[in-house]
Structure formats: C-alpha cells, structure tokens
C-alpha cells in the first residue's frame, strides 16, 4: 500500500491509498480556493445518563443530497472540482468539511457549573471513499479494492488513536437514504472520539464484571455459546464467524468476529485480514438481496478504546432498519425514550433468511481463503 | 372520574374514563367476535450491554396505516365496528391487540445457556385514546379533556405497577408518520415492563453515585442548575418548570419537571395535577408551531420503577427528530452503533426558538393556575 498526502485548499488533509504496484499518483492541487473552516464543536455532559453529547451547530448547513452530477466524492473533472482534486483514485480519506468533532484551538477549555459541564469537541471526523466509481455498491467491489479499504481503516485507526485526547476510533458506513445518507457515492466515515462511547463503555463494564465473576472473557464465551447453539450462525470460516445475536435489536442484525480475539483492525493476523474482504462483501451482499431493493444498513466496526485492549474483541455490527420490503423499524417511544428495544422478527428467523441469501463464494471455503493469504 | 370496564370479544380489557358529571355510559358489547389472541413475547438478554430486548414476532403483521375511514380507534358506528364498541367516548384505555409485552401463560419459564438467557415477555401494552375526535391534535384538546387523560395515566400506572413482575410503567405518545406512527387518531401507549429500562437504570446509577458523592439529589440539583443558568428555560410556573437540557440529544428536546419532586404521576400534588393539562398543551403547541407542519414528536413520561421511588423525579421528556422543515435527524452510525449523539442545533438556540412560540395562555399565569386547582 502506498500513501500520498496532500492538503486541500482550506487546509484539510487528504490521503490517497494505492496498491503497491499502482502507477505514480496524480496528486493534483485543489483548485477551489475554499475559505478556511471554522468549527465550534462542543461536548456537553448529560449528568443523568453520564454521557457526552456532541453539539456541532455548523453542521446544520451541510451539503444535502446533491445530484450524481454534483457528487463531491467523485474524482474532479474539467469544470467540476470535487473534494478529491485527482482525476482518478483508488481509496481516499480526508477530513470532513462539516465535522462533529475537530481539532480544538489551543485556547479552548471546558467548564463546569454544578451538574452542567462542557468541554471542547476535540477529535476528528474523516470521510473514506471506497471507490472512485459512483454507482458501484460496496458489496460488488473486487476483493483487492476492499483490501485497500481495510488497509486504510487500519492506517487511520492507528494514526487517529495517537492524537492527543482521542479515546476511541470508529470506522463505519451508513448506506441508504432511509437512514439519512445524503451522498450516494460509496463511502464511510471514521470518527476519533475524545471519550469512550456509551455502547463501548457498557460493553467494558459487562466484560469486567464477567471477568471478575467467572475468570473468563465474555466475548470469547458468547462466541462459543452462539456456535454451540448454532441456530443463528451465518458463516464460519477458518478466520471469521458471523451470526445473528440471540438478543438482536434490529430486524436483521449480524455480528462478525475473527475467530482469534484481537482488540482492533490493525491487530488482525494477516490471514484474517486477507479473508476479511470476502466476508465483508458476502455479508453486505446478503443485505443487498434481502428485499426487492438493497436494504439500508449501518456497518459499525467496534474497536478497543485506549487503555482497554486486553479484554476487548474487535467485531463488526451490521444491521438494517428495514423489516419488510415496505416497512421500516422506527425507534419510537420505547426505544428512543427508554432504550428498551422491541424486535418484531425472531433472530432465528432472520438468521434463516440471511443464510439462504449467502453467495457460493470460493472465498467461503476456509482452505482457499487461508491459502490465498499466504 | 368514573371508570367503566368491559371485555372485548377476544377477552382483552377496555376501560372508559368519564368525567364525574357525565351521563351514564353506553357500554355496548363488542360485536366483532374476534378470535382469542395468542402472543409469544419473549425477553432476551444481551450480555454485552446487560439489557433485555423484547422479541415479539406476532407484531410483524399488525395494522399498518389504515385510512381515516377504517380507523380502529374511532367510536363504532353502524357497519364499522372498531376497537371501541361504544358510539362515543371521552377517554378510553384498552389492551393492545399486538402487544410487545403481555401476561405470560402460567407454564412459561425462562432459560439460560452460558451467556445466553431468555424469559417470558410478561407485562402489558395498553393503548390510550385521548379523544373520540379523529382529527383533533392533542395540543388542541380542552383542559378538562387532558385532565381526564392525566387521570387515566395515573390510574393505569398504579394498577399496572401492581401486576406480578412489573418493574416500571411508561406512559408515552408517538406522534407523526416520520417516527412511524401508523394510526393518526390521537392516542398514546402505556407499557408495563418486567424489567427496569436501560435509560432508567442509568439514571438510577447516576443518582445513586451523586447521592453518595454529594449527599444531594441529582434531579433537584440539575433543575436548580438549569434555573440558575436560565438560558434554556422555557416556562416556570408555580408548579412546573420546562427547559431544553444543557446536553440535549435531539434537535428540539424539552424536559418538564414538577417544582416539587415526586416519583410518579400519581404522587403529584392536586395543584400540580390541575396545572399539568395547561403545561402539556402549551409544550405540545410549541412543537406544533415549530415548522410549516406539526413536528413529529415523542412525549415520554419517566416514572420511578418499583423499589426506587426515593430519589427518582417524575419528568416529561418531549422531543422531535425534525431539525428543519424538510430535514430529519437520523440516528446513523454514531448514534445507533455507538450511542454517541451529535446535535446540530445548539440547545440555547432551540430554547430561544421554542420560547418565542409560547402561547399567551391564561393558565401560564401561575396564580390563576394555582387558583383553578383549589
């Protein structure tokens, strides 16, 4: 993998990721002359839930559903300068122009008045374009292309986790207008949070409780319990296992784990890394075939936060809010008000449906995938 | 208040709530001859988050957006039998035909295999119709009508909390198609959970930590801190205070507390109860005027769970997912994957907007409201 870094005209960093054998990179300069960005991101503490909320009012004016013609994530062409100055690219990562979190000015400080507290929303929000092709679904990208995506995730996760104050790096993809995606171009996001997120904090508490109660690792034992039960397992290769969890919250929800627990993407064994593009494309492909048109989805990579690597297990959480071809699962009073989820589809039924949608990929033969990685 | 209870043809209970001076109730029998309901609601434990998820697959086929002509919540009329057999009603509460939680059969038991656990989804889900008039927004209901609604909430909260195994009763209203409301008729829901919900559990932890650290009550001190700051306060009467919280998660979010802390609706002082219809209608009215068309909203009444009444504070959480006339706030990767919320509207700006939308209600004069209650 080769990385070429440039600065956009407003000072944001952009990095091209190219395969080792790729021709020399066109690192054209950004011709747009954008004004420097001014962000005022703030973290506010909710004392009742003991959680931080990001307040970023500059985001209210962000780009909203441009036409394909005006896509800001396609390569630049004469007469249409985009976020990517080059006329082509493989994978590219750059700082979001409308970030929920951004490097804080040196003079920024926090405050506390009684139970109310605030601090700068220091961190980073990056955009990752998975391909230069506007219309190719992520599930249809060639394995070599997805391998480059995974390498970029690893590279940015390591780099961002070294920034002062960053506690956790989150690589994720939102796909589909039904969950508010405003740009069609295949892309994901990478957030570097200056706090441990609520979901991660709760997982760490559960894992620590379990360790002190049983001496074991909850992630390992749960994976073993799901395999032992078997009724919700979707795939099991030499390096990866994917299943619908026993207590799935969403109509179709899949968790995928490497068989050998590691804390984050960068810690994956080379062979688990090499198989990942096949597993990822296979799972996304099933979501693409669930309904008449592709299911909207969120693909979330859960990685260990700073200082809690020992007991954490890297995993992918993939889910859709669609429950039938024409019905969505809404988060209404019970979910949004109380955090109490009701799932209308039995996880075993969801697993059966998703199992039937698997593609007969060569890569799903564990031996082949393992050999391909050597 | 007078209560008249009947049974629907499938065995579900229905209660009419009428004002003291109302004429004798038409308690017509349900003519539909519905087959008995069979529900298979199950609670599944998510070991990583230590939360229970309700799995209720019979709900997948529930009524979906019928036309006004076919509304099942209007009074029955010749040729159209609805859920309410009477030809008119004031306020009515009945058991949901498609409940996420329902009384469990005596033989139902739970199980645990390693980290996977399940138990019956024993509890109750009730529907409350706020008025017989299909097209009247809740904010426009006369105070006497809303008083009856509040009385019904109190009555059902007390009754449901006495059911075996019920830990918490939740009165709430979902309003608007954008959050998935499938019936237009003004109505709310009442859930009796057999567990303490995730949001409530976290509030209880925070309140206990605060008590042991400071000796004070976090709800009281936070209310005092919001009043002392003042920049987000929407209304302050003799009995109630409403504000946009410092760390609001939603574009427009309001919390309303009685000035004297009580654990639940039934514990409200008569004068606070008497003022509540005015406060509730006023707040809903502001959400109705926020945009060109009424904002979709969730109105959630947070009440103390069983065994934790001492330090809990009853409060209303009212919020919309709409951030402009034509844009929604979606819960995408950061919110749904990590529980980390980003709010694009500064809570002070939201408070300023909502303050300007207040109606000059006589009831907002604290003296008048207090007198009205005597």
Could you report the per-residue pLDDT of B316-371, keeping only the tens digit for each? 999 999 999 888 888 999 999 999 999 999 999 999 999 999 875 434 444 433 33
* Contacting residues of B for A57, CB less than 8 Å apart: 344-346, 349
| Element (DSSP H or E) covering residue A319 | strand A315-320
* Contacting residues of B for A219, CB less than 8 Å apart: 48
Do residue B66 and residue B162 come from a single domain?
yes
Cβ separation of A334 and B172 shorter than 8 Å?
A: yes
- DSSP of A115-127: TEEEEE--SEEEE
Q: Which of A57, A210, A338 shows the shortest C-beta gap to B170?
A: A338
Do residue A175 and residue A218 come from a single domain?
no
pLDDT on residue B370: 36
Angle CA(B155)–CA(B160)–CA(B162) in degrees, nearest 5?
105
Residue B47 · residue A222 · CB < 8 Å: yes
Which residues, including other chains, have CB under 8 Å from residue A75's CB and lie 6 or more apart? A82, A84, A86, A87, A88, A89, A132
Do residue B245 and residue B345 come from a single domain?
yes
Do residue A146 and residue A231 come from a single domain?
no
Domain boundary among B177, B195, B213: B195
**Beta-bridge partners for B299:** B173, B318
Which CATH number does the domain housing residue A344 bear? 3.30.428.10
Do residue A363 and residue A301 come from a single domain?
yes
Q: How far apart are CA B91 and CA B85, in angstroms?
A: 13
Comparing B104 with A309, which gets the higher pLDDT?
A309
Q: How far is A135 from chain B (nearest CA, A)?
A: 21
Do residue A268 and residue A143 come from a single domain?
no
Q: How far apart are CA A251 and CA B57, in angstroms?
A: 10
> Could you give the number of structural domains in chain B?
2
Q: What is the dihedral of CA A178, A182, A186, A188, to 10 degrees?
A: -90
Residue with tokens 């829901």: B189
Do residue B124 and residue B166 come from a single domain?
yes
User: Does any CB of chain A come closer than 8 Å to the CB of residue B205?
Assistant: yes
Burial of residue A324 (CB within 10 Å: 0-12, 13-18, 19+) is middle
Between the alpha carbon of residue B8 and those of residues A19, B36, B81, B308, B312, the distances in Å are 68, 10, 12, 35, 36
Q: Over 50: is that where the pLDDT of B194 sits?
A: yes
Pick left, alpha or beta for residue A110 (phi over 0 → left; psi -120 to 50 → alpha; otherwise beta): beta
Q: How confident is the model at residue B68 (pLDDT cuts 50, 70, 90)?
A: confident
Provide, rounded to the nearest whole percent, the portion of chain B with pLDDT above 70: 94
Does residue A111 form part of some domain? Answer: no
Do residue B126 and residue B222 come from a single domain?
no
**Beta-bridge partners for B124:** B192
Q: Over 50: is that where the pLDDT of A80 sits?
A: yes
Q: Over 60: is that where the pLDDT of A27 sits?
A: yes
Cβ separation of B343 and A228 shorter than 8 Å?
A: no
Which residues, including other chains, have CB under 8 Å from residue B262's CB and lie 6 or more apart? B268, B269, B272, B313, B314
Q: Over 70: is that where the pLDDT of B374 sits?
A: no
Q: How far is A118 from chain B (nearest CA, A)?
A: 9
User: Does any CB of chain B come closer than 8 Å to the CB of residue A65?
Assistant: no
Catalytic residue positions of B, numbered: 187
Q: How far apart are CA B123 and CA B195, in angstroms?
A: 9
Chain A residue with Cα closest to B98: A344
Angle CA(B39)–CA(B40)–CA(B45) in degrees, nearest 5?
140
- Going by DSSP bridges, is the β-strand pair B342-343/A51-55 parallel, antiparallel, or unpaired? parallel
Q: Which domain covers residue B211, as residue numbers?
A: 199-373
Comparing B200 with B70, which gets the higher pLDDT?
B200
Do residue B215 and residue B133 come from a single domain?
no
Q: How far apart are CA B265 and CA B272, in angstroms?
A: 10
pLDDT on residue B216: 98
Residue A248 · residue A350 · CB < 8 Å: yes
Domain boundary among A195, A227, A255: A195
Selection from B19, B14, B15 nearest residue B2 by Cα: B19
Determine the straight-line distance between the first and last CA of chain A, rounded to whole angstroms.
17
- DSSP of B246-272: TT--SSEEEEEEESS--SSGGGS-HHH
* Contacting residues of B for A172, CB less than 8 Å apart: 333-334, 337
Q: Can you tell me whether residue B312 is helix, strand or coil?
A: coil
Do residue B88 and residue B35 come from a single domain?
yes
Cβ separation of B334 and A172 shorter than 8 Å?
A: yes
Do residue A173 and residue A282 come from a single domain?
no
- pTM of the full structure: 0.94
Whole-complex ipTM? 0.93
User: Does any CB of chain B come closer than 8 Å to the CB of residue A206?
Assistant: yes
Average pLDDT over residues A25-40: 88
Chain A interface, best mutation among B340, B345, B346, by max A CB count within 10 A: B340
Does residue A146 form part of some domain? Answer: yes
pLDDT digits (tens, 9 = 90+) for A153-162: 999 999 999 9
pLDDT on residue B367: 41
pLDDT digits (tens, 9 = 90+) for B136-186: 999 999 999 999 999 999 999 999 999 999 999 999 999 998 888 888 999
Average pLDDT over residues A306-324: 95
pLDDT digits (tens, 9 = 90+) for A214-271: 999 999 999 999 999 999 999 999 999 999 999 999 999 999 999 999 999 999 999 9
Domain boundary among A170, A195, A220: A195
What radius of gyration, in Å, describes the C-alpha atoms of chain B?
21
Does residue A110 form part of some domain? Answer: no
**Beta-bridge partners for A14:** A6, A94
Q: How far apart are CA B184 and CA A219, in angstroms?
A: 44
Chain A residue with Cα closest to B177: A330
Phi and psi dihedrals of B228, rounded to 5? -65, -40
Q: Which of A44, A222, A249 shows the shortest C-beta gap to B53?
A: A249
| Element (DSSP H or E) covering residue A132 | none
Do residue A191 and residue A242 come from a single domain?
no
Mean pLDDT of chain B: 92
Q: What is the DSSP letter of A215?
A: S
Does residue A71 form part of some domain? Answer: yes
């Amino acid at each position: 993998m080769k990385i070429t870094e440039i600065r956009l005209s407003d000072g944001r960093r952009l990095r091209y990721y190219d395969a080792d054998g790729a021709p020399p990179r066109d690192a054209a300069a950004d011709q747009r002359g954008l004004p420097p960005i001014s962000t005022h991101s703030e973290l506010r503490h909710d004392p009742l839930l003991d959680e931080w909320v990001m307040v970023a009012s500059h985001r209210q004016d962000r780009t909203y559903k441009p036409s394909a013609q005006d896509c800001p994530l396609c390569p630049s062409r004469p007469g249409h300068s985009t976020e990517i100055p080059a006329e082509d690219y493989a994978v590219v990562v750059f700082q979001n122009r409308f970030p929920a979190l951004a490097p804080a000015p040196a003079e920024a400080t926090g405050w506390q008045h009684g139970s109310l507290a605030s601090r700068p929303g220091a961190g980073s929000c990056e955009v990752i374009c998975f391909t230069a092709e506007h219309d190719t679904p992520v599930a249809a990208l060639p394995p070599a292309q997805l391998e480059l995506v995974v390498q970029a995730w690893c590279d940015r996760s390591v780099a961002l986790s070294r920034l002062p104050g960053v506690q956790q790096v989150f690589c994720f993809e939102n796909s589909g207008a039904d969950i508010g995606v405003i740009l069609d171009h295949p892309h994901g996001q990478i957030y570097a949070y200056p706090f441990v997120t609520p979901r991660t904090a709760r997982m760490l508490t559960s894992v620590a409780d379990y360790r002190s109660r049983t001496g074991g690792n909850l992630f390992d034992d749960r994976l073993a319990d799901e395999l032992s039960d078997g009724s919700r397992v979707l795939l099991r290769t030499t390096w990866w296992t994917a299943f619908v969890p026993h207590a799935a919250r969403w109509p179709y929800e899949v968790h995928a784990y490497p068989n050998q627990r590691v804390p984050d993407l960068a810690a994956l064994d080379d062979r688990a890394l090499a198989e990942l593009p096949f597993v990822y494309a296979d799972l996304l492909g099933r979501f693409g075939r669930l309904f008449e048109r592709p299911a909207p989805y969120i693909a979330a990579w859960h990685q260990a936060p700073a200082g809690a690597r020992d007991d954490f297990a890297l995993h992918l959480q993939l889910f859709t809010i669609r429950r039938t071809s024409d019905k969505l699962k809404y988060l209404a009073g019970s979910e949004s008000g109380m955090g109490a989820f009701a799932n209308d589809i039995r996880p075993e039924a969801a697993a059966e449906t998703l199992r039937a949608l698997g593609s007969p990929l060569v890569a799903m033969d564990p031996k082949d995938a393992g050999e391909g990685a050597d």
